[in-house]
Copies of this chain bind each other. A is one copy, B any other.
Amino acid sequence: MKLRSATLMDVAREAGVSKATVARVLSASGYVGEETRQRVEAAVKSVGYRPNVMARGLRTQRSLTIGHLLIEITSNPFFAHVARAVEREALANGYKTFLFNHNKNSEQERFGVERFIERQVDAVIFTYPVDAESIAMLRAADMPVVQIERQRTADTHAVLVDNVAGIEAAMAHLLQFGHRRIAFIGGDPALFPHPGVRARSLEEDRLHTYLDALRGAGVAIDPDLVRLGEYVRLEDGSDVEGYGHARALLALKDRPTAIIAGCDVLAGGILRAAYEAHLRVPDDLSLVGFDDTIAGQLTPRLTSVAQPMAELGLTAFQLALASIEDPDIAPRTVTLAPSLVIRDSTGPVPVRATR
């Protein structure tokens, strides 16, 4: 048998006052006699009253809940960190978040949006949106939306990362160490369609910055050193995407002395290929990761372009909250800077290769 927990009415009875008075005491608004206030507060304790957020939400039309749609929290620690940051900020403001994983599948994303609407969330955050249609559904329901990392449509808030600056920092670091044969393993622009809001997609930003940095250093571009694909492809828990690309690169007659990876998980696969080829990192090969998620847990610890995951989540929630409090504010786009974290996987170009 399930016994209901104490309600406002129970407190009122216990204190010998009306529901309205109890409500006033709890919301600390309106005039309440000092003596009554104390009686009510005592009653609240004695019956163990806890407000019912559902009932409150029904009345106020606010669920104090926001929805967070993401790719898949287990596929890349990046998502877990961003989700955690959103949750932290939400909690600090009296909110809770609902998570939903869509696996880059637009039907699943749509399904998640429907669940969120049913549950009356006050706003929805995407990391990142797959289908513009999902955003349109939420706009139709007048729900504030924030897009993290990739901006599909221009009509909502967005929190982005300056990928150009990230790759520039990584390239400068490697060039300074004397590397000239630098390979790039990253996301394929064709697999991540251009949303149309910004001039270049995230993948294009990174790729072009890599090419520009080489040109800037007077290095001829070798197409063999550019390998594009997915960011995460696991088989039996092992990354096979970075592994496969790295095997191909290391088998080249004139193999690269350094590799930039589009994500730390990819970099894990690259390290495995290097180990099997009996190459030591960074002595024989330098490696830079991206995200700074598992970088420190790999061997050697990876130099990596750190995404500002905590700030991404925090800013996204704050934008959502701003629109909850005033639905009419104009959409804002915030771009955050990544930072290069230098660890043990990068070093001077091998002597052999400088000849």
Give residues in A with beta carbon < 8 Å to B: 1-5, 48, 50-55, 57-58, 61, 63, 72-74, 77, 80-81, 83-84, 87, 96, 98-99, 101, 114-115, 117-120, 140-142, 234, 236-239, 265, 268-269, 271-272, 274-275, 292-301, 327-328, 341
The residue in chain B whose Cβ has the minimal distance to the Cβ of A273 is B299
- A268: which B residues are within 8 A, CB to CB? 297-299
Most buried by B among A58, A83, A101: A58
- A274: which B residues are within 8 A, CB to CB? 299
Q: Are B61 and A4 neighbours in the complex by a CB distance under 8 Å? A: yes
Also in contact, A237 and B297, with CB within 8 A (given A52-B118, A96-B119, A99-B99) = yes
Q: Are B301 and A272 neighbours in the complex by a CB distance under 8 Å? A: yes
CA distance A301 to B96 in the complex (A): 38
Contact of A275 among B74, B238, B300 (CB under 8 A): B300
Q: In the complex, how many angstroms separate the beta carbon of A113 from the nearest chain B beta carbon? A: 11
CA distance A101 to B86 in the complex (A): 13
What would 22 A/B residue contacts be, using CB atoms closer than 8 Å? A1-B142, A2-B61, A5-B117, A50-B117, A52-B120, A53-B120, A54-B54, A54-B57, A54-B120, A72-B84, A74-B81, A87-B99, A236-B296, A237-B295, A265-B297, A268-B298, A269-B297, A294-B294, A294-B297, A297-B298, A298-B298, A298-B299
Q: In the complex, how many angstroms separate the beta carbon of A276 from the nearest chain B beta carbon? A: 8
Most buried by B among A1, A294, A327: A294
The residue in chain B whose Cβ has the minimal distance to the Cβ of A84 is B74
CA distance A254 to B19 in the complex (A): 75
Contact of A74 among B80, B120, B265, B298 (CB under 8 A): B80
Q: In the complex, how many angstroms separate the beta carbon of A233 from the nearest chain B beta carbon? A: 12
Q: In the complex, how many angstroms separate the beta carbon of A275 from the nearest chain B beta carbon? A: 5
CA distance A58 to B61 in the complex (A): 14
Q: In the complex, how many angstroms separate the beta carbon of A51 from the nearest chain B beta carbon? A: 6
CA distance A80 to B99 in the complex (A): 12
CA distance A142 to B243 in the complex (A): 52
CA distance A142 to B2 in the complex (A): 6
Also in contact, A54 and B63, with CB within 8 A (given A73-B83, A96-B98) = yes
- A72: which B residues are within 8 A, CB to CB? 84
Q: In the complex, how many angstroms separate the beta carbon of A32 from the nearest chain B beta carbon? A: 23
The residue in chain B whose Cβ has the minimal distance to the Cβ of A297 is B268
CA distance A53 to B293 in the complex (A): 36
Q: Are A1 and B328 neighbours in the complex by a CB distance under 8 Å? A: yes
Q: Are A55 and B58 neighbours in the complex by a CB distance under 8 Å? A: yes
A-B residue pairs, 3 tightest by C-beta: A237-B296, A238-B296, A268-B297
The residue in chain B whose Cβ has the minimal distance to the Cβ of A270 is B299
